[in-house]
Amino acid sequence: MNMTAFNTHILRLAAILLTAGLFVSCSKDKPAPPGGGGYPKEVTIEYKVTVLTGGLTVGNIDYVNETGGITMDRDKPLPYSKSFKRTVNQYEYATFTFASSKPGSVKAEILVNGQPMETQTFAGSSGSFAGSVKYIFP
């Protein structure tokens, strides 16, 4: 498989994972907590990717940005960190997808106001791998 076709497959996989996360979390049928839960509120969201094994130097990251839209960062140097402020409502989410065309493993984290809220480890031993991390504001 040539590298262009391989990268196309990785991008499609990342888009599918991110899209699935968007559809699953769009439900607004959950009742609000008593007192409104302090929403909307401004938070600082940080996405982090740390290389654990494999000597990875770059990766592709798709994430929900400060406006709630999707940003696609391609061939970003690792380790990776992106931080921004965003006003969120209850049951909204922060999510990102990581993809690599090389074997290795990474730790992917979502921090809110400096506190780790979700952490996942993703690995691939025979070529490409991808994974997605999501945090829903309670």
CA quadruple 119, 124, 128, 134: dihedral, nearest 10: -20
Q: What is the pLDDT of residue 126?
A: 84
Confidence of residue 127 (pLDDT cuts 50, 70, 90): confident
| Rounded Cα gap, residues 82 and 89, in angstroms | 21
Confidence of residue 10 (pLDDT cuts 50, 70, 90): low
Q: Which residues contact 106 (CB under 8 A, 6 or more apart)?
A: 49, 50, 51, 52, 56, 59, 78, 98, 100, 121, 122, 123
> Which tokens hold the place of 55?
């000597």
Q: What is the pLDDT of residue 69?
A: 97
> Which tokens hold the place of 8?
């196309």
Q: What is the pLDDT of residue 2?
A: 53
Does 22 have pLDDT greater than 80? no
> Which tokens hold the place of 68?
């709630």
pLDDT digits (tens, 9 = 90+) for 95-109: 999 999 999 999 999
Percent above pLDDT 70 for the chain: 73
Does 8 have pLDDT greater than 90? no
Compute CA 12 distance to the chain's CA centroid, rounded to the nearest angstrom: 15
Give me the chain's average pLDDT, please.
83
Q: What is the DSSP letter of 11?
A: H
Q: What is the pLDDT of residue 23?
A: 43
Which spans in 1-138 are helix H?
3-24
pLDDT digits (tens, 9 = 90+) for 50-81: 999 998 999 999 999 999 999 999 999 999 99
Q: What is the DSSP letter of 128?
A: -
Confidence of residue 30 (pLDDT cuts 50, 70, 90): very low
